[in-house]
């Protein structure tokens, strides 16, 4: 089977790290769209859709955000596999009928996440431990899951992973390398200096190596997309 063809909906406002990180981790053919410039696919002829992180908030009254949420909602109606990361995770939640809000705090740096289920049948977190290390960077959170969604992982800041049917979202950043983590930490100049210094001190090879466990998510999603493709082809045969 050929590599899956994924719509890559880049909401990063041109952050040079985003394309590099996702292209390194996803074993798929990515067709890129700069959604912050209002560029979205004019069709749904993709095997799956990936939505990236962003400096924006899903609840802002921006035309490109409304258009993105609408596109993702229609893709879900069509049964296309979805994978959202950070802001993308919140977009997927909003598109499926959930809600997102400012959490009144900012979670930044390497942190621990707890799986709410260790079901080995889970398609996204398969092969990942009950507790795992991730890099986080967010001030918003999913405050209400979409109807029918399953909570997959959380910590004291709230929802960190969920699934509903073919749609998946993770609040953390499995795609980050240490270069990106440091760049993101230094960009949060609205946070106290001591918090930034603590986060920078935590960007170590030990923490990065631990967080690499979650890179398995990308292979898991691609495998899931391929399974959906195969099932669709078998039905059409």
Asked whether 123 and 81 are in contact (CB, 8 A), the reply is: no
Specify the long-range contacts of residues 210-213, CB closer than 8 Å, at least 24 apart: 210/110, 210/132, 210/133, 211/110, 211/132, 211/133, 211/134, 211/135, 211/174, 211/176, 213/128, 213/129, 213/132, 213/133
DSSP output for 107-133? EEEEEEEEES---TT-SSSTT--SEEE
In terms of phi and psi (left: phi > 0; alpha: psi -120 to 50; beta: otherwise), the region of 82 is beta
Question: What count of residues does the chain have?
Answer: 237
> Could you give the CA distance from residue 118 to residue 24 in angstroms, rounded to a whole number?
27
SS3 45: coil
> Could you give the CA distance from residue 70 to residue 131 in angstroms, rounded to a whole number?
34
Asked whether 172 and 89 are in contact (CB, 8 A), the reply is: no
> Could you give the CA distance from residue 229 to residue 237 in angstroms, rounded to a whole number?
12
* Residues carrying an active site annotation: 86, 173, 175
């Amino acid at each position: 089977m050929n590599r899956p063809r994924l719509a890559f909906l880049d909401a990063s406002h041109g952050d040079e790290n985003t394309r590099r990180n996702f292209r390194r981790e996803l074993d798929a053919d990515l067709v890129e769209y700069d959604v912050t410039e209002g560029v979205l696919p004019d069709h749904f002829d993709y095997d799956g859709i990936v939505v990236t992180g962003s400096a924006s908030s899903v609840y802002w009254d921006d035309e490109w955000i409304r258009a993105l949420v609408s596109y993702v909602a229609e893709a879900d109606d069509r049964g296309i596999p979805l994978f959202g990361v950070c802001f993308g995770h919140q977009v997927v939640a909003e598109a499926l009928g959930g809600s997102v809000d400012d959490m009144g705090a900012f979670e930044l740096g390497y942190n621990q996440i707890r799986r709410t289920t260790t079901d080995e049948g889970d398609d996204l977190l398969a092969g990942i431990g009950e507790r795992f290390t991730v890099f986080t960077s967010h001030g918003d959170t999913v405050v209400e899951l979409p109807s029918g969604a399953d909570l997959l992982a959380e910590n004291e800041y709230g929802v960190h992973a969920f699934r509903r049917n073919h749609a998946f979202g993770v609040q953390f950043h499995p795609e980050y390398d240490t270069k990106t983590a440091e760049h993101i930490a230094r960009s949060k100049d609205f946070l106290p200096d001591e918090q930034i210094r603590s986060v920078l001190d935590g960007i170590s090879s030990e923490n990065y190596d631990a967080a690499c466990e979650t890179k398995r998510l990308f292979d898991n999603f691609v495998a899931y997309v391929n399974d959906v493709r195969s099932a669709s082809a078998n039905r059409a045969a």
